[in-house]
Structure 1
Amino acid sequence: MKSTGERDSFLRGPKYLHVAKRLRVNIENGLWAPGTQLPVERELADTLAVSVNTVRRAVGELVTEGIVQRRQGAGTFVTPLAELTAEPAGAPGGRRLVGVLVPSTTYYYPRVVDGIQRVLREAGVGVVLASSKYDLDVERDELQAMRDSGVQGLLLVPNLHIVGDPQAYVDGLRELPLPYVLVERRPPAPAPDDPTPYVGTDHSGGVCLALRHLHGLGHRRVGHLGRSRTGTSALVARGFDDAATLLGLDIVDGAVSRRGVWAAADIAAYMRTCAAAGVTAVFCHGDRDAAALVVEARRQGLTVPDDLAVVAYDDEVAEVGDVPLTAVSPPKSEVGALAAQLLLSRMESGEGALCHRVEIQPRLVVRASCGAARAATQV
Structure 2
Amino acid sequence: MAKNKTEMLAHTKHLLIIRLSAMGDVAMTVPVLRTVCAKYPQLKITVLTRAFFAPLFNDIDNVQVYPADVEGAHKGALGLFKLSKELKRLRIDAVADLHNVLRSNILKSFFRISGIPVVQINKGREEKKALTRASNKIFKQLKSTHQRYADVFENLGFPIDLSTHSFPEKPALTPEINTVIPTSSKKWLGIAPFAQYESKTYPFESIVKVIDSLNSSDRFDIFLFGGGKKEKDILNVIASKYNNTVIIAGRLSFENELRLIANLDGMLAMDSGNAHLAAMYGIPTLTIWGVTHPFTGFAPFGQPMEHALLPDVSRYDKIPTSIYGNKVPQGYENVMQTIHPKDVVDRIMKYI
* TM-score bracket for the superposition, by shorter chain length: 0.3 to 0.5
TM-score (structure 1 length as normaliser) = 0.32
Q: Which structure has the larger Rg over C-alpha atoms?
A: 1
